[in-house]
Every structure is written in structure tokens, then in C-alpha cells.
Amino acid sequence: MKAFDYIIAGGGAAGLSLAWNLSRSEILRNKTVLIIDRDDKKRNDRTWGFWTKDFVDFDDILFRQFHRLEFVAQGFHRIFEMKPYSYKVIRGIDFYGHVISHLGKFSNISFLKADIELLDVQGDRAFVITSAGTYSAGYVFSSLFHEPEILIKARESIYLRQHFKGWIIKANQEVFNPEVITMFDFRTPQLGQMRFMYLVPHASRLGLVEFTLFTENLLQPDEYDAGIRDYIQNVLKISDYQVEETEFGIIPMTNFIFPSHFKERVVYIGSAGGSSKPSSGYTFTRIQKHIHKIIQALEKGKNPVIPAVSPPRYLFYDSVLLHILKHQGQYAEHIFTQLFKNNALPSIFQFLDEEGGLLNDLKITTSLPKGIFLRATAEHLKKNFNL
């Protein structure tokens, strides 16, 4: 059985970000690392978008960067200047290629393409049983997300999904503004749920059109396609276009507190470790923050079990919004319209990043429809605290 200092189970955003940071640490860069994934990461299977006002480790491979953001809803349309923030977009294929190429320079970092069958711990060693054999390490960092198991554990929690399908289309006419990211376009039938379109222009005739829902259940595959097709034809008014690529994804949106570890030696990262923001699904920058804390602990010789949990008041805010999205999804468009209509964009981002402070929190929360949130808050407290 081959032994390593660290094993990374899952070579997606979280796993590769961890390996990237290990390789750049003066203290940890010589540790032996095994990265296990069933996929060779040679497809553009996803696109990560996120707002930030800071430099990020992967700025060199940004696919697009926007300084203006569009919000569209019934009776309200605004294009915001984002300064001091910008909205950055990274394609999965660019991220995978960049990080894997960098890691290939280190003889102490290995890759294994295999199915992971079991994670276990015995004493001070963690074990990964795979289709290609068994491997051990001082710590295993796992981003493996087994939703059926999570659903059982989260049965007393609110559990929604952010699910989306996107088409990258090439149109025979100019339709996209290459300078503007459309975060929310609610000009699609809501059907009592939160449904919106998300647009990432690549050029004036090329861009990602993504149909996104915040709901409990997924749609049938052809329903996503029908929603995108209807939007392209009836809202964007495009009749002549080609679909260049497609992508599909599911992100948990839940107030369930994800376990941070298993028997101290298996540390959970990524969505499996709670890095997805419960009320928005944004994950990429939260992964980076969590990984940096893990690296700091390892450099100091400390236990790297660090929960990726929001402060209590933000967990409460998220829980109330999730309650509304689950039970009163017909109000979603109105809520998000009031959020963007009544607040400056930097204040919104600070709130969503859990960095704005109590005064900013108060300004944001009091700008939202009071009756809806008061009822939802009372129902949430009654259910969870028997008040």
C-alpha cells in the first residue's frame, strides 16, 4: 500500500485549489500528495462566475471580467457600475489545464484516475479504497458529494437546489453587450418558483445563456432546453443561432450544517464541506477562503479540521430566505427586485459575502418586503425553536 502525506479525493475546484496552494507554500510544497478523480478534466464542464474587489490566484486565466452588471425584472431594469468590485469568469477547462500543468512540475504530486469506493480511518492514518487499489495518508481532503446521504442527514433542514443548464450560443446577429454581465433576468415564466436567466457574453454574437432555478426538485432534461429556447426566441429575439456547447450543474442550497470531517483524518472541502453559500449557491470564492485557512493550519502544524460555517446571524438570514424560496417561491422575483432596487451594489455584495457589518446588514434586511420576511421569520422560529 502506497502512503502519502495528503490525499485529495476529488479533483474539482476545491481539490485542485488545495493542491495549488500546497505547492505554493514554502513549508508544505515538498509534502507528498495524491489527487484522485474519476475524470481526466479535459472537458469544459462548467463556468465559475464570482464578484470580488481583490486579486485572486487565478486572475491569469480569467476568461472574462466585467465592470457592469445588469438586473432585469418586471417593472425594473438597471445596469449597475460595479466599482470597486468586478465580476470574474473562469472556464472549467482553463482552470483544470492551468492547475494540472502547474502541479505536473512537482515530482511529489501524483494523479490517479480511478473511482473512489470508500474512505476510512484507522488510528492516525486515513485510507482511500479505489478501483485501482488502496492508499493511505496522514490526512484525506475530500470534496466527494453524495447527495442521497446528505438528504438523509438534512431531513430536518431546508434543502433546495440551485440547478441550471446553459447553452453557449453563436448568433447571426449582435445580441450581447460584451461589457455587461446579466446576473438576473426574470423575463421567464416563474410558475411560483424562483427562475431566472443568467447571461455571460463572450462577444457581441457569442455568449452563455443559462436557465437557473432555486427549487427543491429538478426539472426534466427537456424542460431546461425548452426554457432556454423560449427565452432566446421570445426575449432575445434571436431566430438564427447555433449551440456551441452546453453545461449543467447542481449546487446545494441548504441550512444544513455540513460535517467538517470524519474521524479527524478525513477533512471535507468544497460543497461537501459547506463552502456553498446557502442562499445564493456561490461557491468558488468561499472555497478559496476555506482552503487558505486549511493551509495556514497545516503550516503551523495544527489540525486542519476547520468548519466552513457562516456566522450565526448569516445562517439565520439564509434560513429565512430559504424558507421563503421553498414555501413561497412566487415572491422571489419581488424580493430580489427590492434588494437591487433599494441598495447600492457594493452593499449587496458585502452582505452576500458576510463582510458588511451590522449596520449594512440592517440596511439590507429592512429594504426587503417586510410582511413576507416577518411571516417567514415567525414560521422559521416556530418550527425550529418552538416559539
- Residue 385 pLDDT more than 70? no
- Decide if 172 contacts 303 (C-beta within 8 A): no
Please enumerate in sequence order all residues whose Cβ is within 8 A of that of 273, keeping only pairs 6 or more positions apart, or say none: 14, 143, 258, 260, 267, 290, 307, 308
280-300 per-residue burial string, b: 16 or more CB within 10 A, e: under 16: bbbbbbbbbebbeebbeebee
Q: What is the DSSP letter of 368?
A: S
What pLDDT shows up at residue 192?
A: 95
CA-to-CA distance for 301 and 312, rounded, in angstroms? 28
Are β-strands 159-171 and 241-254 bridged in parallel, bridged antiparallel, or unpaired? Answer: antiparallel
What is residue 58's three-state secondary structure?
coil
Cell numbers 465559475 correspond to 48
Collapsed DSSP state (helix, strand, coil) of residue 164 = strand
Whether residue 315 is predicted with pLDDT greater than 50 in this model: the reply is yes
Which residues of 274-385 form beta strands (DSSP E)?
A: none
pLDDT in tens, 210-268: 999 999 999 999 999 999 999 999 999 999 999 999 999 999 999 999 999 999 999 99
pLDDT digit string, tens, across residues 123-162: 999 999 999 999 999 999 999 998 888 888 888 899 999 9
Cell readout for 52 is 470580488
CATH of domain 159-253: 3.30.9.10
> Which whole-number Å values give the CA distances from 120 to 124, 137, 280, 298, 381, in the listed order?
11, 11, 32, 21, 38
Residue 154's pLDDT is 87
- What are the backbone angles phi and psi of residue 220, rounded to the nearest 5°? -70, 150
Give the mean pLDDT of the chain: 94
Question: Would strands 68-73 and 116-122 be described as parallel, antiparallel, or unpaired?
Answer: unpaired
Residue 4 CA to residue 9 CA, distance in Å, equals 13
Query: Is residue 11 within 8 Å of 33, Cβ to Cβ?
Result: no
Task: Read off the pLDDT of residues 50-66 as tens digits, 9 standing for 90 and up.
Answer: 999 988 889 999 999 99
Are 266 and 259 in contact by the 8 Å Cβ rule? The answer is no
Peptide bond into 148 cis (omega under 30): no
Q: pTM for the whole thing?
A: 0.93
CATH (one of 3.50.50.60, 3.30.70.141, 3.40.50.740, 3.30.1660.40) for 2-45+92-153+255-299: 3.50.50.60
Burial 309-322 (b: 16+ CB within 10 A, else e): ebeeebbbbbbbbb
Per-residue pLDDT band for 387 (boundaries 50, 70, 90) equals: very low
- Dihedral of the CA atoms 304, 309, 313, 317 (nearest 10)? 170
Q: What is the pLDDT of residues 272-293, one digit of tens each?
A: 999 999 988 899 999 999 999 9
Four-CA torsion 11, 13, 16, 17, nearest 10 degrees: -160
Instruction: Report the C-alpha gap between 210 and 225 in whole angstroms.
Output: 10
Domain ranges of the chain: 2-45+92-153+255-299, 159-253, 312-385
pLDDT at residue 386, as a whole number:
55
**Which helix or strand (DSSP H or E) is residue 124 part of?**
none
Q: How far apart are CA 120 and CA 90, in angstroms?
A: 34
- Decide if 126 contacts 264 (C-beta within 8 A): no
Question: What is the tens place of the pLDDT at every residue in 2-44?
Answer: 999 999 999 999 999 999 999 999 999 999 999 999 998 988 8
pLDDT, average across residues 95-113: 97
> How many CB atoms are closer than 10 A to CB 372?
16
The half-sphere exposure of 57 on its side-chain side, counting CA atoms within 13 A, is 21
What are φ and ψ of residue 237, in 5° steps?
60, 45
Q: What is the largest CA-CA distance in the chain?
A: 64
Mean pLDDT within 83-95: 96
Contacts of 199 (CB under 8 A, 6+ apart): 70, 176, 181, 182, 185, 207, 208, 209, 210
CB atoms within 10 A of CB 178: 14
